[in-house]
């Protein structure tokens, strides 16, 4: 049983789906604090002028340390959805597979979302299905016995799911206690994602774009491109 964990992310990048696809169960860590300037509520798309941010405005001003993700509300008095879709349409309408996915993705921008986690999770389910990934998705907020911080939280989630292997992002080296994993007989590996190069619109290749950049350009071949690098590194 291979498990990985990651916070919700708006229009995630390719590496997010790579780790997800390597796992049997992927836990969306929504029972945690919102992080300012993270990829939870923003990501990049490519334009003729280079890359640009698409950021979902959220109500967190002055209280980041106390704002749980499950309680983080979107500021809908700002027409962010209309602006995001306009930017997506403007920059990807000439992509080879834009018309194949545009109507379904546009539906996310026609609905008014109250909570950021709901938007991210529903989008994630759509992208997972569209890419053809069969990994089971679980929300941490719906799990029991998963309290704790950093290593303890990760291990408690793994034990609850019966994990034998945990895939961490490379930044996990900075905070995970590897000995605790050995004591629990959980194999710890680190994702070593090498970003693929592929043909994009507007000339020079820009890595680390949202999944929609690849999807609109390569359609059904997107997952093969994401998984072209299968490398993980054992602790």
- In the chain, domain spans: 2-234
- More confident position, 234 or 26: 26
What number is the average pLDDT over the span 154-179?
Answer: 93
- Which distant-in-sequence residues (6+ apart) come within 8 Å of 67 by Cβ? 33, 34, 60
173 alpha-carbon distance from chain centroid: 20
- Does pLDDT of 67 surpass 80? no
Residue 188: HSE in the Cβ half-sphere, 13 Å Cα cutoff: 20
**pLDDT tens-digit map of 93-148:** 999 999 999 999 999 999 999 999 999 999 999 999 999 999 999 999 999 878 88
Q: What is the mean pLDDT of residues 221-228?
A: 96
Answer for the pair 23, 135: CB distance below 8 angstroms, yes or no: yes
| CA separation for the pair 223, 235 (Å, rounded) | 27
For residue range 13-65, what is the model confidence (pLDDT) as tens digits?
999 999 999 999 999 999 888 888 899 999 999 999 999 999 999 997 665 55
pTM: 0.93
**Predicted pLDDT at 157:** 96
């Amino acid at each position: 049983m291979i498990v990985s964990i990651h916070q919700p992310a708006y229009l995630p990048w390719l590496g997010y789906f790579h780790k997800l696809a390597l796992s049997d169960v992927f836990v969306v860590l929504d029972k945690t604090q919102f992080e300012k300037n993270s990829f939870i509520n923003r990501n990049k798309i490519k334009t003729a002028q280079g890359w640009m941010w698409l950021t979902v405005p959220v109500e967190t001003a002055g209280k980041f340390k106390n704002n749980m993700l499950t309680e983080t509300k979107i500021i809908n008095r700002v027409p962010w959805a209309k602006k995001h879709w306009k930017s997506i349409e403007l920059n990807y309408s000439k992509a080879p597979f834009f018309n194949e996915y545009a109507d379904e993705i546009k539906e996310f921008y026609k609905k008014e979302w109250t909570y950021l986690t709901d938007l991210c999770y529903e989008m994630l389910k759509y992208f997972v299905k569209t890419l053809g990934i069969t990994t089971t998705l679980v929300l941490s907020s719906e799990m029991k016995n998963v309290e704790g911080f950093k290593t303890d939280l990760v291990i408690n989630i793994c034990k609850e799911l019966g994990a034998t292997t945990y895939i961490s992002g490379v930044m996990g080296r900075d905070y995970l206690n590897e000995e605790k994993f050995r004591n629990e007989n959980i194999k710890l590996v680190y994702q070593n994602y090498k970003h693929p190069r592929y043909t994009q619109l507007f000339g020079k290749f820009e890595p680390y774009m949202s999944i929609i950049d690849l999807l609109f350009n390569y359609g059904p071949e997107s997952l093969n491109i994401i998984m072209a690098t299968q490398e993980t590194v054992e602790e």
